[in-house]
């Protein structure tokens, strides 16, 4: 059986976990957490990085730091993971869903301005498959209407838009290190931002509402409850696993690219014959091979293809059920304009296996299997 995903393992993870144990500190913000944050800061040119327990939690922190009031509106695509919306719903916001572009599956930047109302506070671009949204346009709209931009860059670690790392362009960026993502710590994420004025509040929020971070730096002589907060610090065990992956990021990236390009080259004739569509990457984007998907004619063909591949021992998957059509989406949000592409394209997409430790022989087997499908 060829799995759809397996968490990356590059080699030093267990050594670093052992080292973390020997250092005698397993709670958050130890040596490995600091090394991971610093690595992200330097590699992606961003001033502030907080490692978190998930991207969902990074989004929750960003939503809190945006200082939303109940009834404020947040614009995002409906074609995304639930956490993108949940984090803002938790703050009492209403979600305004906007259609996607069929070529990248990202929010259609041309429709955002029409969705802005007097209650709009935030735009949340989701960089699907590590391919950037049209950020210049989005930042322009945000500036014009005084909105904040929270990038859901869960899939966008080590991907770029006009030379800038995804997650470093908006007011906040949120990364995921879940085991299904390119670099992992099992469950984990990071909150990124450039503006120092969020730093103190972010620290307090992440440390249960206390000024413990200041206490550790010797800036105050005792730590106290100073504001609302929660616990968003990952353990050193998880950070140690992640650090081993970040050190080898180029190796992980190269392997994923090799898989992506093999799929792309060898399935091209099916696209030329009009049987499938392949992913599109705008020229200003450098993607990170987060996923490889194809699009087939419709949901009927997709269902057949999934069953066919499974029979050949290959796991392929689809996502997402558009949020605006889900029970919570109806309760907490509305769709702006017409759903031309969100539902239709979400029913056509099929993701093929993609992970660091996937054997190239297996990739070949997958391509041959897709090639042999007769019912496109
Ligand atoms: C994976 C993912 C998330 C959630 O990440 P977690 O680290 O599992 O919380 C959020 N948004 C998108 C687009 C994702 O792909």
DSSP-assigned states of every residue in 21-54: HHHT--SSSSHHHHHHHHHHHHHHT-SEEEEES-
Give residue for tokens 């859901």: 152
Mutational pocket test of ligand 1: of 5, 178, 184, the residue with most ligand atoms within 8 Å of the beta carbon: 178
Measured distance CA(207)–CA(224) in Å, rounded: 11
Measured distance CA(273)–CA(94) in Å, rounded: 43
CA of 23 to the centre of ligand 1 (A): 31
Pocket of ligand 1 (CB under 6 A): 54-56, 80-81, 83-84, 126, 152, 154-155, 176, 178, 189
DSSP structure class, residue 99:
P
Q: Which long-range contacts (CB under 8 A, 24 or more apart) does 178-181 make?
A: 178/54, 178/55, 178/154, 179/5, 179/7, 180/5, 180/7, 181/154, 181/155, 181/157, 181/290
Which atom of ligand 1 sits closest to the CA of residue 58? 9
Mutational pocket test of ligand 1: of 79, 152, 153, 176, the residue with most ligand atoms within 8 Å of the beta carbon: 176
CA of 376 to the centre of ligand 1 (A): 31
- The pLDDT value recorded for residue 299 is 98
Burial group, residue 190, by CB count within 10 angstroms (0-12, 13-18, 19+): buried
Q: What are phi and psi of 277, to 5 degrees?
A: -120, 145
Beta partners for residue 51, in sequence order:
190
- The pLDDT value recorded for residue 216 is 87
pTM exceeds 0.85, yes or no? yes
pLDDT in single tens digits along all 376 residues of the chain:
999 999 999 999 999 999 999 999 999 999 999 999 999 999 999 999 999 999 999 999 999 999 999 999 999 999 999 999 999 999 999 999 999 999 999 999 999 999 999 999 999 999 999 999 999 999 999 999 999 999 999 999 999 999 999 999 999 999 999 999 999 999 999 999 999 999 999 999 999 999 998 988 899 999 999 999 999 999 999 999 999 999 999 999 999 999 999 999 999 999 999 999 999 999 999 999 999 999 999 999 999 999 999 999 999 999 999 999 999 999 999 999 999 999 999 999 999 999 999 999 999 999 999 999 999 9
CA of 81 to the centre of ligand 1 (A): 6
Active site residues: 181
Which atom of ligand 1 sits closest to the CA of residue 189? 7
CA of 45 to the centre of ligand 1 (A): 22
Which atom of ligand 1 sits closest to the CA of residue 56? 9
CA of 156 to the centre of ligand 1 (A): 10
């Amino acid at each position: 059986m060829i799995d759809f995903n397996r968490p990356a393992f590059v080699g030093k993870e267990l050594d670093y976990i052992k080292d973390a144990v020997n250092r005698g500190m397993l709670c958050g913000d130890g040596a490995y957490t600091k090394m991971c944050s610093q690595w992200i800061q330097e590699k992606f040119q961003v001033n502030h990085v907080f490692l978190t327990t998930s991207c969902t939690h990074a989004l929750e922190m960003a939503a809190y730091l945006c200082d939303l009031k109940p009834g404020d509106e947040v614009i995002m695509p409906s074609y995304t993971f639930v956490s993108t919306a949940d984090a803002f719903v938790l703050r009492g916001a209403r979600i305004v869903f906007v259609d996607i572009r069929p070529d990248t599956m990202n929010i259609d930047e041309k429709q955002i301005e029409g969705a802005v109302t007097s209650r709009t506070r935030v735009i949340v671009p989701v960089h699907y498959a590590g391919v950037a949204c049209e950020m210049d346009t989005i930042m322009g709209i945000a500036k014009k209407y005084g909105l904040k931009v929270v990038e859901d860059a869960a899939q966008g670690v080590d991907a770029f838009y006009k030379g800038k790392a995804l997650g470093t362009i908006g007011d906040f960026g949120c990364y995921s290190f879940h085991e299904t993502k390119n670099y992992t710590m099992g469950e984990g994420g990071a909150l990124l931002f450039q503006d120092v004025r969020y730093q103190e509040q972010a620290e307090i929020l992440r440390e249960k509402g206390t000024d413990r971070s200041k206490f550790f730096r010797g800036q105050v002589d005792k730590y106290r409850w100073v504001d609302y907060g929660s616990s968003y610090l990952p353990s050193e065990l998880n950070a140690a696993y992640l650090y081993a992956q970040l050190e080898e990021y180029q190796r992980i990236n190269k392997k994923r690219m090799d898989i992506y390009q093999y799929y792309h080259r060898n399935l091209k004739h099916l696209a030329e014959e009009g049987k499938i569509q392949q992913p599109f990457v705008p020229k200003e984007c450098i993607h990170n091979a987060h996923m490889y998907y194809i699009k087939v004619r419709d949901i009927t063909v997709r269902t057949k293809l999934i069953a066919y591949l499974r029979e050949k021992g290959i796991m392929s998957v689809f996502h997402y059920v558009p949020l605006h059509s889900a029970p919570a989406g109806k309760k907490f949000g509305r769709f702006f304009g017409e759903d031309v592409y969100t539902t239709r394209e979400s029913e056509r997409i099929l993701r093929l296996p993609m992970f660091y430790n996937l054997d190239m022989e297996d990739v070949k087997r997958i391509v041959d299997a897709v090639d042999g499908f007769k019912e496109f």
